[in-house]
Amino acid sequence: MVSKWQMFMQENRGWNALYMENHDQGRTVSRYASDAPEDRALSAKMIGTHLALQCGTVFVYQGQELAMANVPRDWTIDRYKDIEVVNYWNTLLREHPNDTELQRKTLAQFRVVARDNARTPMQWSDAPFAGFSPADSKAQPWMDIHPDYKQWNAAAQVNDPDSAFSYWKALLALRKSHKDIFVYGFFTMVDPAHPTVVAYTREADDGQQAALVVTSFSLDDQEWNVPEEQRKFLKEGKMVLRDYGDAPKMDAERGVLHLRRLEALVFVTSS
């Protein structure tokens, strides 16, 4: 899908709106990666890298830069507010009142893609109501606050250099500082048949600069055999961004990257 839209716009002088979250979509860390506490920030960084270095205008939905997650798995149906979910559930109960397995599967699906997942109040701080409303019982928001707000909030992340928020800042700064590559450059998908590694190159119009963006959507470590044409990035390129604190292991001559779970890497070359 990414390749389809990137190539179509590139070939027809169009321009993409780049988004993976909005008010109608589930949160990306829960839907495409892992919202487990130990994986959550890493997931947000990896997905951000995948999205923000494509060609087009980047849309960052409220809370995406904080790794906000879908509603908790223990929330019961009465805590959902979206009229589509409510009506669907009522119809299900009316037509299949005794099918508890279907009801269980439907609720599990709501926890992945229901619109309410992205509509919980924005988590600004660890204050009551996550700082979204005044600490007053009369200011109760229309939806329940996600119970993880004490840890996952803006105030806790803005000064943390290892946070998802800080990574997004670095990511967008990289896009701006290398705009000939990441804003206006050509897009090419790399190894599209791979089941978990999503990689692509961006190349400036003059052919003097290029980048390789590598993201692993796997929850396991793996080896990725870099295609021959892109091995120059390992040999000659500079690693300008990564979501882990330390660099990965790689064999540049053989073109092998030892990718860790949810790892993201960006290489840039100049000629």
Cβ(109)–Cβ(77) under 8 Å? no
What's the confidence (pLDDT) of residue 250? Answer: 95
Among residues 98, 106, 97, 102, which one has the least CA distance to residue 77? 106
193 and 93 within one domain: no
Q: Return the amino acid letter for 201.
A: T
pLDDT along the chain (271 residues), means of 10: 95 96 96 96 98 97 98 94 96 97 96 95 95 83 94 97 98 97 97 97 95 98 96 96 95 95 96 72
Count the domains in the chain. 2
What's the confidence (pLDDT) of residue 163? Answer: 98
97 and 230 within one domain: no
DSSP assignments along 42-86, one per residue: HHHHHHHHHHHTSSSEE---TTGGGT--PPPTT--GGG---HHHH
Q: Report the distance separating Cα 117 and Cα 108, nearest Å.
A: 12
Number of helical (H) and strand (E) elements in the chain, helices listed first: 9, 10
173 within a domain of the structure (yes/no): no
If DSSP codes are grouped into helix, strand and coil, which group holds residue 201?
Answer: strand
131 and 221 within one domain: no
What's the confidence (pLDDT) of residue 271? Answer: 72
Q: Model's pTM, two decimal places? A: 0.95
Q: Which domain holds residue 231?
A: 180-270
Q: Report the distance separating Cα 268 and Cα 237, nearest Å.
A: 5
